[in-house]
Structure 1
Amino acid sequence: MAFHIRDDRTDRVVRQLATRRKLSITETVRLAAENELNRDSVDDEAFMARIRDIQRQAAAYPKTGLKADKAFYDELSGDI
């Protein structure tokens, strides 16, 4: 189960955090990894909240009644 940290800077910051928090190296690595996973989850939730807001804004625009089919897009791109 063990793994080696072969990077001096990484070793130094993990040990520094372990000392500051009064934790073992293992607990420190676990805590750091869990915190990053939690932060990713929060970032995902914030991102999805922004997407839902954009979707609500787009849905609030009135319908134009225009048909957006292949001919419509061909005309827009000059591909007639």
Structure 2
Amino acid sequence: MPLYIKDDATANLVAQLAKLRGLTKQDAVRLAVQAELDRAQASIPLRVRVEALRATHPLPPATGQRADKDFFDDLSGGL
């Protein structure tokens, strides 16, 4: 899907970034948008991000078994 930038100031900024980074204008736009998305995601409190992750990928139910030293020794072959 094409993206047309009709604002000359924005087009000039994209051209400057592309030239500075040695990228195409398309890659410059992708880089800038990804960087802004990363900043926006990072501004969400960690607690909220973890809650969303756990809601999407819940932990399995507890088995009631203990993961003690013997358990880990058995996993490692007694090393």
Tell me the TM-score normalised to structure 1 length. 0.55
Take 1:32 and 1:43, find their aligned partners in 2: how far apart are those partners? 17
In terms of Rg, which structure is larger?
A: 1
Take 2:5 and 2:41, find their aligned partners in 1: how far apart are those partners? 26
> Structure 1 regions of 5+ residues with no counterpart?
49-80
The alpha-carbon deviation at position 46 of structure 1 amounts to: 6.2
Take 1:46 and 1:26, find their aligned partners in 2: how far apart are those partners? 32
Cα displacement string for residues 47-67 of structure 1 (whole angstroms, at most 9, x for unaligned residues): 96xxxxxxxxxxxxxxxxxxx
Tell me the TM-score normalised to structure 2 length. 0.55
Q: Which residue number corresponds to residue 44 of structure 1? A: 44
Structure 1 pair 2–46 and aligned structure 2 pair: CA distance change class (3 A): same
State the Cα RMSD in Å: 1.7
The sequence identity of aligned pairs, in percent, is 38
- How many residue pairs were aligned? 48
> Structure 2 regions of 5+ residues with no counterpart?
49-79
Higher helix share: 1
- Structure 1 runs (4+) deviating above 6 angstroms are none
Take 1:19 and 1:45, find their aligned partners in 2: how far apart are those partners? 35
